[in-house]
């Protein structure tokens, strides 16, 4: 028992110390140092802030702009995020209502008859009418209400940042799905062109076989390459449908409505330019997830301050004013006036371990939010560095693959010419056909991956999205 009382008294001294005031500010808990430079440092990136709005317009694709505009208006995740803002605002208004007194109106009429057989007094009938206005007001001396209002303000601000994060994610998802779809369409075009070229080679082998210059093996090998290339068409078409369906969900539309818009094939956007990445210490603080995590730290810090304020007394001012009279016609007479003023101090200084555990819970929640903030900062740095590295190296890959494709085309042309002259075996033509198809597909995929890396970079940089929310 003595040990328990000693721990309880020590907790009281700690909780009623000046730390009570400092705990209201969550900034003191954020000690994660933000980096001043990125790991990647090359001519591909500039130390300037990215465009604040509509980063996807850099791709110069009006259709992509339209798709994102529709998604912003109709996406259900965005609408739900807006609903959460409205709920957070309502919770803030509810908590702010604690600043105001509560008022109530009571009115009634009472008629009562007493028995004449239970006492020596004769039977009597009494009646009276009363009406009063009651007030109950908690005076926030120790900051309990103030801290809870501050916590709700931070939660409200965090909901706005979560909305911005949803917008950034949505725009990135639409752009990524669109790029993936265009990449598959371009791969399908590459396959179709190679099928035409390979079919022409099949006809050449058939003529040479008919004239007795080659065996039927050349025809069979040419056909096998042609049908192998043609067999990849169904999977590409299936992938196109899948990304079309994804765009439909993101835009809040049915797939067939989107299919009409994007069924026409278009080339992938060409984008190889320096990207503004900004200074990490300044740029990371504009990311919605980091701002939201910071708001959460402030909210839990305010909740900790409120839990510590609960250890102090509560001061109320109660009062009522009204009229009461036996005769209803005298209810407004000044002699019928009644009133009551009752200042009250309530101090539940001992509730077992309830207050102690509530404060420990608030402190644990604050510690968790601080660690979540630190992890969010580290993750954001990782995402930016990964995206920068992927984008920079994808540019190098594209440059190299363009040379490979050019050499592959020349190899096919030379091997086919030599085959027609009977100076080279048909196997060289087959190898050149397979290689060219592989090179062109690799180039197309590299272009798509480069654009996807750029989209991820913009998303990691905070998306460039800014919109005021009420």
Give pLDDT tens digits for 160-171: 888 888 888 899
Q: Mean pLDDT in the chain? A: 78
DSSP state of 330: G
Residue range 37-46, pLDDT digits in tens: 555 555 544 4
Question: Which tokens in the block code for residue 465?
Answer: 């999205």
pTM, two decimal places: 0.76
Q: Tokens at residue 162, please? A: 């979560």
* pLDDT over threshold 60, residue 71: yes
Query: Which of 166, 455, 165, 386 has its CA nearest to residue 291?
Result: 165
Top-ranked range on mean pLDDT: pick from 103-107, 160-164, 176-180, 204-208: 176-180
8 A C-beta contact, residue 234 and residue 188: no
3-state helix, strand, coil in the chain (%, to 5): 65, 10, 20
Cite the beta strand spans of 87-139 per DSSP E.
102-114, 124-139
| pLDDT tens profile 253-284 | 888 888 888 877 788 887 666 665 555 666 67
Mean pLDDT (whole number) for 447-456: 89
Percentage above 70 pLDDT, the chain: 81
Q: Retrieve residue 468's tokens.
A: 């005021």
pLDDT exceeds 90 at position 178: yes
Q: How confident is the model at residue 32 (pLDDT cuts 50, 70, 90)?
A: low
Question: Which residue, 187, 177, 169, is CA-closest to 261?
Answer: 177
Which pLDDT score is estimated for 184?
92
pLDDT of residue 465: 47
- What are the residue boundaries of the structural domains of the chain, listed by start? 19-100+161-311+369-460
CATH 1.20.1600.10 for domain 19-100+161-311+369-460, yes or no, is: yes
The arithmetic mean of pLDDT across residues 280-294, rounded, is 76
The 10 Å Cβ neighbour count of residue 346 is 9
pLDDT score, position 298: 85
Residue appearing with tokens 């402190």: 363
- pLDDT at residue 238 in the model: 92
Tokens of 419: 């085959």
Q: Is the pLDDT of residue 175 over 70?
A: yes
pLDDT digits (tens, 9 = 90+) for 95-110: 878 778 888 888 887 8
Taking residues 399-414, report their average pLDDT. 90
Distance of alpha carbon 97 from alpha carbon 158, whole angstroms: 21
> 78 Cβ partners below 8 Å, 6+ apart?
71, 72, 163, 166, 167, 170
Res 49: pLDDT: 44
Instruction: Note the pLDDT of residue 274.
Output: 60
In angstroms, the CA 32 to CA 377 distance is: 8
Query: Quick one: pLDDT band at residue 229, thresholds 50, 70, 90?
Result: confident
Mean pLDDT value of segment 183-209: 88
What does the pLDDT read at residue 403?
92
């Amino acid at each position: 028992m003595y040990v328990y009382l000693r721990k309880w008294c020590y907790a009281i001294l700690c909780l009623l110390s000046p730390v009570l005031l400092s705990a209201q500010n969550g900034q003191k808990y954020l000690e994660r140092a933000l980096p001043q430079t990125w790991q990647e440092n090359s001519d591909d990136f500039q130390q300037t802030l990215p465009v604040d709005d509509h980063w996807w317009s850099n791709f110069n694709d009006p259709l992509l702009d339209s798709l994102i505009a529709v998604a912003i208006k109709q996406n259900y995740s965005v609408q739900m995020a807006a609903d959460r803002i409205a709920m957070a605002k309502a919770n803030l208004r509810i908590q702010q209502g604690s600043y105001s007194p509560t008022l109530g109106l009571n009115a009634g009429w009472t008629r009562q008859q007493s028995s004449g057989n239970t006492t020596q007094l004769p039977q009597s009938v009494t009646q009276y009418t009363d009406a009063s206005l009651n007030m109950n007001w908690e005076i926030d001396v120790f900051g309990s209400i103030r801290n809870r209002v501050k916590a709700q303000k931070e939660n409200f601000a965090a909901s706005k940042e979560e909305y911005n994060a949803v917008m950034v994610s949505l725009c990135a998802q639409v752009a990524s799905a669109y790029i993936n779809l265009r990449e598959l369409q371009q791969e399908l075009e590459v396959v179709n062109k190679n099928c035409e070229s390979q079919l022409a080679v099949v006809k050449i082998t058939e003529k040479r076989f008919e004239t007795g210059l080659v065996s039927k093996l050349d025809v069979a090998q040419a056909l096998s390459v042609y049908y192998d290339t043609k067999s990849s068409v169904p999977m590409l078409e299936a992938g196109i449908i899948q990304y079309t369906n994804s765009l439909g969900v993101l835009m809040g539309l049915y797939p067939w409505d989107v299919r009409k818009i994007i069924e026409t094939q278009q080339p992938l956007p060409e984008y190889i330019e320096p990207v503004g990445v900004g200074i990490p210490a300044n740029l990371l603080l504009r990311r919605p997830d980091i701002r939201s995590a910071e708001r959460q730290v402030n909210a839990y810090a305010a909740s900790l301050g409120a839990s510590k304020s609960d250890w102090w007394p509560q001061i109320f001012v109660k009062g009522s004013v009204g009229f009461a009279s036996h005769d209803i016609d005298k209810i407004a007479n000044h002699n019928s006036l009644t009133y009551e003023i009752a200042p009250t101090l309530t101090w539940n200084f001992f509730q077992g371990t309830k207050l102690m555990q509530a404060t420990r819970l608030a402190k644990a929640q604050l510690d968790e939010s601080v660690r979540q903030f630190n992890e969010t900062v580290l993750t954001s740095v990782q995402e930016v560095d990964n995206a920068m590295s992927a984008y920079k190296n994808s540019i190098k890959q594209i440059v190299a693959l363009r040379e490979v494709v050019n050499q592959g085309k020349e190899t096919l042309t030379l091997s086919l010419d030599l085959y027609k002259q009977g100076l080279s075996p048909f196997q060289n033509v087959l190898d050149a056909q397979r290689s060219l198809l592989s090179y062109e597909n690799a180039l197309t995929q590299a272009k798509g991956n480069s654009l996807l890396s750029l989209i991820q970079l913009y998303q990691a940089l905070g998306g460039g999205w800014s919109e005021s929310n009420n």
